[in-house]
A and B are shown apart, each in its own frame.
Chain A
Amino acid sequence: MFSRDGVPVARVIVDVMLKPEILDPQGRAVQGALGRLGLDGVQDVRQGKQFVIDIDGDLDADRRAMLERLAGELLSNPVIEDYRMRVLADGESL
């Protein structure tokens, strides 16, 4: 991926989900709504967040490690949430 100026841009995806043992009342409300709208058999719904980060330049090991650290420090709260970080390959869609 390239920016408008032709600078390479990496796209990093961070998914954040509540830990399985943490109650997710929003997910439960969505589960109820799905049932009311006629979808039978929904066992569980968990709601999470996705961060899409576009960042200039190649992601060297240092910057990748820094992103990883910030995903655990800022983007998620390790007390209640898990995160998963991945770097999109060229042309790969979300």
Chain B
Amino acid sequence: MTARIGIVTFPGSLDDADAARAVRIAGGEPIALWHGDDDLRGVDAVVLPGGFSYGDYLRCGAIARFAPVMTSVVERAHSGMPVLGICNGFQILCESHLLPGALTRNDHLHFICRDQRLRIENNSSDWTRNFDAHSEIVIPLKNGEGGYVADEATLDQLEGDGRVIARYLDVNPNGSRREIAGICNERGNVVGLMPHPEHAVEELTGPSTDGLGFFTSVLSSLLEGAAR
């Protein structure tokens, strides 16, 4: 039986179809989830895709946090279900307090879209375990509010606990503190990532196929969990 990976669609989500495709290519079964429905349809993991949920009104992710589906996602995340938030999904995870800190407007004020080099700093989370330690990958980055901020104590704690899962290389594209591109929670099941692995899963359309590693990682995590 293949793992069922839920992809949530909010009003304004853009990358739900690509996320579903990435799950399929990695060998999982994508399951469509709807923001207004708190039923997670028996999924084993959830992806919160990129886009502009609720038009980014108020703050990015601030309204999506209160969608009925998020009540179930937050509850299951606390009991260990793997959750990956990409871009707007990362913003929603921060607004939901599943991850610390916040994403703010890029320091240079421009929307940015580029192929971005990253270093995987933590290859033990549920979404990064199939990467080699310190591997360098290239996946697309596209955001207007991707600057990761948190107070110094939180940043020190994230670094000390090895919860920075990916860091920008070459340039800091959005003013993120300590070049942070992605973080995870203490347990390693909830991961937020600003760049887009779901756009880098096929040679034809992506700058690489490096993004696949996030999706095969969660399948490995779920398989190991099932064997335990």
Point out residues on A near B: beta carbons under 8 Å. Answer: 18, 21-23, 25-26, 29, 74-75, 77, 79-80
Contact = CB atoms under 8 A, between A and B. Distances in A.
A21 B152 CA distance: 11
A74 B109 contact: no
B93 to A, nearest CB: 12
A23 B109 contact: no
B102 A77 contact: yes
20 contacts: A18-B104, A21-B151, A22-B149, A23-B104, A23-B107, A23-B147, A23-B149, A23-B175, A26-B109, A75-B58, A77-B59, A77-B62, A77-B95, A77-B102, A79-B94, A79-B100, A79-B101, A79-B102, A79-B149, A80-B149
Given A74-B62, A74-B66, A75-B58, A80 B109 contact: no
B146 to A, nearest CB: 12
Which 4 A-B residue pairs are closest in the complex by CB-CB distance? A79-B102, A80-B102, A25-B109, A25-B107
A28 B65 CA distance: 29
A71 to B, nearest CB: 12
Contacts of B95: 77
Contacts of A21: 151
Contacts of A25: 105-109, 175
